[in-house]
Structure 1
């Protein structure tokens, strides 16, 4: 049987984004226990156990939020008549009127694929860039397939530089660093006849100005510029097939936000669709 730990490793190796959810505190009569765990996928599906139906609904919504901003979150799920757990900085409180009782805290840790650095060229500079990028937890790809890459560094390909730049731009890469003098880099880009938008994505001379001389120092300046583009400018990986965020709805009985899926309790009344957190709210609504 595949454990949650096995599933976490499997998704990480496959570079699939997910949220690792772990119950850290629970009070009876909630069915969850500290240490219970699950993974939440970008489509809102949950594998594992972190509580009953009402808790799962809150976990789904909060987990998808963490996938968007990459920040961990302590989710506190409380019945509507208690606030037993003290306030904690960085925590989100969710009150569930349909909760069966007891309070629960769940730590949500988004796991996002490491940024990919495409590398073209076999010079001492490109070797130093690869070494430093791996130290910075980038995944280095030198295959020439730049789909999904966050940035591409072109260093010392000679006549192949233009082909590498064109391939990176066509793959949607938002940051292409060309190792060349200012004069040679400008001439090379002029020959490519880039659009203004494409030209803005190519950075040459590559790297921040730090007076770098050795291949290692040049690699430092290049990776510093790449990191700044990610952390300060919001550079993201080139687009790939992304899972659509599930539709959300508000349970008309308890007021919970639920993610709409094939198994979400549903009723159509007077031509209007309603979704519910659980079968109990569905029964209560349809009996009214």
Structure 2
């Protein structure tokens, strides 16, 4: 739901009636993960997607029905052996989809959902934990959790169908789980016991997170940087172009960049780190291939807990740069983090092709891909998300 928050927040402000279909469970080769959403308003306007096209038509009709009735529906879609063109996922996966009315319908979670949509639409970091499975009186209730651990909404207190219900432990556990996933920047489902432990009557929470866009910093105002800045924006990054040469580093030359910084690269990196602007999702692309810029920049960059550090240059440049970095005190373990020469072997020549090559390597590093062709390969197409405990330092959500 939060991935289409801008549209839904606007619909709320306009007073529109709508329903949202959200993926709350997946198995097999599901095309989209938990949290993917499709919303349809009373007039039939649709935004978002839950399956990349496989079941959109059926889900669209469910949304229109729920927008009218106000009654939520939980539906499962899977592959049909009898008719591959029947409503289902021909990729072989199974998805569980919860279709629920928007905040216009009222209910105990309406204010929480409005606040969550407003926060996500405004680029704020926030998580919303919704009960999508468990006692009927709890299903649909939600908490909005902020980065500092504070939250809005209630799971505790007596409920109409559960007069003796306390729920304080469940509420605290739900808030803690949501805060942990928010910190990891990851949307997921969590199963806990009704008393807040990992046992007891099960309660399933869908925790959707909204975090500011990850950073991509492109160092070097060269022709390849033009294409890479555009590619970074296409991938959803907040892109900064940094170069120490004011004649080249201008907003006019890089209009797609969110920021153009005329700074020595290593100084910019130090200030960005001090300001808390770099994290485990940050991508650093060094295109300068000039030792006076590269060596101090990479010496610092390879010691940061960022997701990716890549550097452009020929193999001869790469060998010379590694020698200089070792002389500057960079260890072999730190050098092993460097993607150089940058990008995948696509035979790329033009700046646009090189940008695709670099982007492919970034996505592979982010998602744990191999970079090999899927044709004839035995690698999974859709990889399962790892739990927070399985994530390596520098992983991207």
Quick check: TM above 0.5?
yes
Change in Cα spacing, 1:191 to 1:134, as seen in structure 2 (3 Å) is same
Change in Cα spacing, 1:13 to 1:170, as seen in structure 2 (3 Å) is farther
Q: Does 1:190 align with 2:338?
A: no
Q: Does 1:60 align with 2:175?
A: yes
The 10-residue stretch of structure 1 (226-235 or 103-112) with the greater mean CA deviation from structure 2: 103-112
Q: For residues 42 and 223 of structure 1, what CA distance do their matches in structure 2 show?
A: 30
Larger Rg: 1
Change in Cα spacing, 1:192 to 1:12, as seen in structure 2 (3 Å) is farther
Match of 2:287 in 1: 155
Shift of 1:163: 3.0
Change in Cα spacing, 1:206 to 1:55, as seen in structure 2 (3 Å) is same
Match of 1:165 in 2: 298
TM-score normalised by length of structure 1: 0.60
* Mapping for residues 84-233 of structure 1, pairs under 5 Å: 95=200, 106-142=205-241, 143=261, 144-145=268-269, 147=273, 148-149=278-279, 150-156=282-288, 158=290, 159-173=292-306, 175-193=308-326, 194-232=330-368
Shift of 1:120: 0.5
Residues paired across the two proteins, number: 215
Q: Any conservation in 2 of the 1:58–1:94 contact (CA below 8 Å)?
A: no
Q: Structure 2 unaligned runs (5+)?
A: 1-110, 158-167, 242-260, 262-267, 370-390
Match of 1:20 in 2: 128
Match of 1:279 in 2: none
Q: Any conservation in 1 of the 2:342–2:358 contact (CA below 8 Å)?
A: yes
Change in Cα spacing, 1:174 to 1:44, as seen in structure 2 (3 Å) is closer
Structure 1 residue matching 2:357: 3-state secondary structure: helix
Shift of 1:171: 3.8
Q: Any conservation in 1 of the 2:289–2:317 contact (CA below 8 Å)?
A: no
Change in Cα spacing, 1:14 to 1:169, as seen in structure 2 (3 Å) is farther
The 10-residue stretch of structure 1 (217-226 or 49-58) with the greater mean CA deviation from structure 2: 49-58
Q: Structure 1 unaligned runs (5+)?
A: 80-91, 97-102, 239-288
Give the root-mean-square deviation of aligned CA atoms.
3.7
